[in-house]
Amino acid sequence: MAGGNGELKLLGMWASPFVTRAKLALHIKGLPYEYVEEDLGNKSALFLSSNPVHKTVPVLIHNGKPICESSVIVQYIDDAFPGVGTPLLPADPYERAVARFWAAYIEDKVVTSWAPVFRVKTDEERDEAARQTLAAVEVLEGALKECSGGKGAFFGGDSVGYVDVLLGGLVSWLKANEPLTGTKLIDATKTPLLAAWMERFCELDVAKAVLQDVDAVVEYAMALRVRLAASSAANN
């Protein structure tokens, strides 16, 4: 088994919000790791052998063994390093179930509704995707109220937890949405708790260390949109 004791390697792509989640978890736990930027247009042998099923980033390699899927990686980091830093998931089984529920909601309703925004061709499709994403964000506002118990600052209560990490990874893209599409996803007038959460989250040292520059994300997304439009035109 290649790799030394506790050797952590993260295969990623700088713009990916899913990679950002993994980075956030590693930084919160204070775990040193080697970051490898993957060229997704020319995938490395290590990358392909580490995630043959999905061929996506992030992949965390711990002592030579790969872990894939951002939510699985974040839970793994929490499980494998129990004594280190604050646990991301609470100890109580019911509270864990609630955290997992909102994590799944973010995946199924926010990310899934939102991703098409960058791929769809018509304005109608884009508006529909935006509408669905905004509806999901409003539900999350209610979740934050419930989870933070009114007094806490985060979904995890007083400290950053599992849901905060999963949503936190998306922050630069959430902010990029307005310059890209004209729609503000986290609007203080509509979802004040989430807006405050986002500000608070961005003030954290780990966020400052890890979150991508919003302008860079905007530029990346615009170039991606152009590339996708060109390739679909070529295929028609």
Q: Residue 58: is the preceding peptide bond cis (ω within 30°)?
A: yes
Instruction: Tell me if 68 contacts other proteins by CB under 8 A.
Output: yes
In the sheet that 34-37 helps form, which strands lie side by side, from edge to edge? 34-37, 8-12, 59-62, 65-68
Number of H helices, E strands in the chain: 11, 4
Pick from 60, 66, 79: nearest CA to 162: 79
Closer CB to other proteins, 60 or 221, in the complex: 60
Instruction: Tell me if 69 contacts other proteins by CB under 8 A.
Output: yes
Name the minimum Å distance from CB 30 to other proteins.
Answer: 18
Name the minimum Å distance from CB 95 to other proteins.
Answer: 10
Interatomic CA distance for residues 165 and 105, integer angstroms: 14
Closer CB to other proteins, 92 or 213, in the complex: 92
Pick from 69, 76, 87, 71: nearest CA to 8: 76
Closer CB to other proteins, 80 or 153, in the complex: 80
Quick note: the x/- pattern for other proteins over 135-154, rule CB under 8 A, is ----x---------------
Instruction: Tell me if 16 contacts other proteins by CB under 8 A.
Output: no
Residues 6+ apart with CB under 8 A from 158: 152
Instruction: Tell me if 115 contacts other proteins by CB under 8 A.
Output: no
Q: Residues 16, 20, 75, 212: which binds other proteins (CB under 8 A)?
A: 75
Q: Residues 67, 106, 207, 211: which binds other proteins (CB under 8 A)?
A: 67
- Amino acid at residue number 124: E
Instruction: Tell me if 110 contacts other proteins by CB under 8 A.
Output: no
Confirm if 139 and 104 have CB atoms less than 8 A apart.
no
Interaction site with other proteins (CB under 8 A): 53, 62, 65, 67-69, 71-73, 75-76, 79-80, 93-94, 96-97, 100-101, 104-105, 139
